[in-house]
Amino acid sequence: MTLSEEDYIKAIYHLGSGKEQPISTNAIAVQMETKPSSVTDMLKKLSGKNMVKYKKYKGVSLTEHGELTALSIIRKHRLWEVFLVDKLGFAWDEVHEVAEQLEHIKSDKLIDKLDTYLGNPRVDPHGDPIPSKEGEFKKSVKKLISELPLGSEGVCVGVNDSSAAFLKFLDKNGISLGDTLKILEKEDFDGSVSIEVNNKEMRISDQIASNLFLEVLEKN
Amino acid sequence: MTLSEEDYIKAIYHLGSGKEQPISTNAIAVQMETKPSSVTDMLKKLSGKNMVKYKKYKGVSLTEHGELTALSIIRKHRLWEVFLVDKLGFAWDEVHEVAEQLEHIKSDKLIDKLDTYLGNPRVDPHGDPIPSKEGEFKKSVKKLISELPLGSEGVCVGVNDSSAAFLKFLDKNGISLGDTLKILEKEDFDGSVSIEVNNKEMRISDQIASNLFLEVLEKN
DNA sequence: ACAAATATTTAGATTTGTCTAAATTTATAT
DNA sequence: ATATAAATTTAGACAAATCTAAATATTTGT
Ligand SMILES: [Mn+2]
Ligand SMILES: [Mn+2]
Ligand SMILES: [Mn+2]
Ligand SMILES: [Mn+2]
């Protein structure tokens, strides 16, 4: 697989291999920032390699083989993102471009050793799941802290209320997007929540809990 | 710069930009495992980018700009080699192929952070020097322990006497090729040498010292 | 000095991935 | 139901990197 083929496979996967309808040529062209005619050429090539099922004018979908290939590339991408953030100290929102290159490095041994070195992480710095070598993974969902049960653990990925005051509050309390957050306790009385972030425990009000999104792995 | 252009620049550098004679087309073809006609095409392209000085039939040499580019790629290659060995636990003789790919990743920030993370190493796992960001480095030479002065530090890179007995001795004493070795003391009387390897001190006979090669940085 | 050997370049193809412009198919709207 | 619009494919071109075969330049041996 060439670098370009790999990026197409990944794009098709992200455009929703989950869905039952095939992916359109134009959708892929938009995602890849290329022209539809280029996409058509590539789809023929990928079809010849049994990576996609392709019917002229009818769109495309990944084969079993194509999907496993996509998951293997996504695994590499996300493991490298963990490396960049956890080991090299990149910010969570700076890593994508570099991981986009690193994901194409060819070496099974490398990725095995990297996985071990990182402590077999289950999620990347954006809270997205890291597929296993066999292509298995739990889906992740983005939910407000207030909607999540006790014990949930996830990555802070966004705010509902993006007022200056709220962002300032988060900053003051040492909570940044990209941080991993765990829900320790929930108070029925006032909806306040005990959380752990950056090895610190703190209590946040219902107002805060209803405005901060976590990316968490779905149970089972 | 494309991946291929970078590999050519590096090949020309290694074929001896140090020398005063220009490098021949055929020499590059051998090094790159490609055909001389392909080399000619690439030399024209690199010449157009001011990376090399090229005269038809007269060979090629790197420009100042080309040499700095070569050193930057070599810096990346060797830093990644250190990462693979020190952090991921690759053996020193397994890293070249992967580093050959990793050296082409484009990100100044990445290589700066990697350098810091690795503790600004001066040499790679083969004892070869790692150029600074500015392209400065000390040359390295391969010498027998017996030829080196007190205080020398280098990487074990080879043996003079490759008899089974000698290799067995090294193995028994926990010395492997790729290990860093420091000369602590030299006994004039019998030529025996005190060394430190893998955080252990030991004394080796003149016979051993005269048969084990170290790759060391030249002083000044 | 000149023929033979060697090294290098040129000419013409090929593969990969891209593009534009034109043709064709599919969807939409009256 | 049919004309328009939108989506998709085809045709033909191009740049990058490679190759083979042929042409040309340089070196070497006598
Ligand atoms: Mn990519
Ligand atoms: Mn990610
Ligand atoms: Mn390389
Ligand atoms: Mn090396």
- pLDDT at position A18: 67
Nearest to B131 by CA among B92, B77, B170: B77
Q: Is the pLDDT of residue A17 over 80?
A: no
Question: Is the CB of residue B12 inside 7 Å of nucleic acid strand C?
Answer: no
Distances (CA, A) of A12 to A8, A54, A63, B49: 6, 12, 11, 37
The pLDDT confidence band at residue A220, using thresholds 50, 70 and 90, is confident
Domains in chain A, ordered, with CATH? Answer: 3-62 (1.10.10.10), 67-137 (1.10.10.10), 141-217 (2.30.30.90)
pLDDT tens, residue by residue, A83-129:
999 999 999 999 999 999 999 999 999 999 999 999 999 999 999 99
Closest nucleotide to A35: CA versus each C1': C19
Q: Which residues lie near ion ligand 1 (Cβ < 5 Å)? A: A 7, 100
pLDDT tens, residue by residue, A138-154:
999 999 999 999 999 99
Closest residue on chain B to A106 (Cα): B98
Distance A105 CA to ligand 3 centre (A): 11
- pLDDT at position B15: 97
* Single-letter amino acid code for the residue at B33: E
HSE of A168 in the Cβ direction (CA atoms, 13 Å)? 3
Closest nucleotide to A38: CA versus each C1': C18
pLDDT tens, residue by residue, A28-62:
999 999 999 999 999 999 999 999 999 999 999 99
Distance CA A107, CA A113 (A): 10
- pLDDT at position B101: 98
The burial class, CB within 10 Å (0-12 / 13-18 / 19+), for A166 is middle
Residue A113 is nearest to which of B89, B109, B117, comparing CB atoms? B89
Closest nucleotide to A5: CA versus each C1': C17
Distance B205 CA to ligand 4 centre (A): 29
Which parts of chain B register pLDDT below 70? 17-18
Question: Is the CB of residue A2 inside 7 Å of nucleic acid strand C?
Answer: yes
| Contact residues for B164 (Cβ-Cβ < 8 A; gap 6+) | none
Q: Which residues lie near ion ligand 3 (Cβ < 5 Å)? A: B 7, 100
Distances (CA, A) of A39 to A12, A14, A46, A48, A70: 11, 16, 10, 14, 17
Report chain C positions within 7 A of protein CB atoms.
Answer: 7-12, 16-22, 25-26
Contact with chain B for residue A50, Cβ under 8 A? no
Question: Is the CB of residue B42 inside 7 Å of nucleic acid strand D?
Answer: yes
- pLDDT at position B16: 86
- pLDDT at position B18: 67
pLDDT tens, residue by residue, A164-195:
999 999 999 999 999 999 999 999 999 999 99
- pLDDT at position B220: 74
Residue B117 is nearest to which of A88, A110, A113, comparing CB atoms? A88
Query: B182: part of which helix (H) or strand (E)?
Result: strand B180-186
